Amino acid sequence: MQWPIMASALEYTTLLLLLLMFSGTSWAKVQKPAKRLAPALIVFGDSTVDPGNNNYISTSLKADFLPYGRDFIGHRPTGRFCNGRLTTDFLAEGLGIKETVPAYLDPGLTPEDLLTGVSFASAGTGYDNRTSKAFSVIPLWKEVQYFKEYGRKLGNIAGVEKATNILHEAIFIISIGSNDFLVNYYINPYTRLQYNVSQFQDHILQISSNFLEEIYNYGARRIIVSGLPPLGCLPIERTVRNVYKKERGCLKDLNEQAMIYNIKLQKMLDVIGDKLPGIKLAYSDIFSPLIDMVQNPAKYGFENTRKACCGTGLIEVAFTCTKRNPFTCSDASKYIFWDAVHLTEKAYEIIAEHIKYSIPQLL
């Protein structure tokens, strides 16, 4: 499929709509664009973008209970590891596609849900298969299998030609990698025996490269790939690794390794971009906005950067973050972190605001 010429009247109109949409300070407060800027949003990744796929598999890593989802539409838990919507939900709305991105494994999906995009993400997974095995969640290769299955379903609904066009013009979001380091490399002694940290980064990037090439071969063309966040600022890491220290600031070594990985990732994306004709790749820097939230909370209206909203805010996540915990905060918008690993809806919206500037690269 040939890409449309950027100088066409249609593209100028689309770009104008995009710029008007992006001029607002918050996508939640601006009007949806008159025209969809992409036919679908399709998502791969981990708990940062899992809207509930883990609800339908045998794993202890679920978020299908309150207080997860307490600020979501209808105040109900969906499986999102958040008090409300995720970054991908805000992106889908900002692109004029739909209000939320559903889980692919949700048995209630409609044909319209499929036509406008789904998430294959699974909380706890990573690029490396050993990462997903730690929590018995969906490995990345299985997400790819679901994507291929999804493509066949699109063909059945819309016909092969239209389905191919949807995949070529959809925006793909890839948000994965943190668990490979936090769950696999830094905890699993066998992984550290096999690789030093630089070698492990290269190992993960090679898997990422192969993954991008595989989904490209099945139709993906417009792809945003997120880097690692400042891993050393997560409350659970600051609690566990600084257990004998009075000062519990962000962990410098983890943040430095995340930054090194992100630099390598950007170089890898340049190589892939030169290798695969017609592909449009954009790197999404989530490190910078999150570290800025932590260092300058008042700028965003946050009051607590050290602790999460749920429980003590130091270590609770998944089944330890329950509505029976008497310490859970009343106003999550004052917090960057919802639980000891994941962000609040407000923080995810800020991340979406940052990612949106990557989208013009794909049009």
Residues with active-site annotation: 47, 339, 342
Q: Which residues pair with 239 in a beta bridge?
A: none
> With contact defined as beta carbons under 8 Å apart, do 307 and 328 qualify?
no
Rounded-to-integer distance, Cα 144 and Cα 124, Å: 16
Q: What are phi and psi of 224, to 5 degrees?
A: -105, 125
Per DSSP, the residues of 233-264 read GSHHHHHHHTTT-S-----HHHHHHHHHHHHH
Q: Which two tokens stand for residue 284?
A: 């999404």
Please tell me the chain's helix, strand, coil percentages from 3-state DSSP, rounded to the nearest 5: 50, 5, 45
Question: Which residue intervals of the chain are DSSP H helices?
Answer: 9-22, 87-94, 111-115, 129-135, 140-158, 160-169, 178-179, 189-194, 197-217, 235-241, 252-275, 287-295, 345-355
Both tokens assigned to 114: 């499929």
What is the Cα–Cα distance from 32 to 99, expressed in whole angstroms? 10
State the Cα–Cα distance between residues 178 and 126, nearest whole angstrom. Answer: 7
How many Å apart are CA 165 and CA 153, to the nearest integer? 14
Beta-carbon count within 10 A of 292 CB? 15
Is the CA virtual torsion 271, 276, 278, 284 positive or negative?
A: negative
What count of other Cβ atoms lies within 10 Å of the Cβ of residue 75? 12
Structure tokens at 346: 């407000």
| Helix pair 345-355, 87-94: axis angle to 10 deg | 50
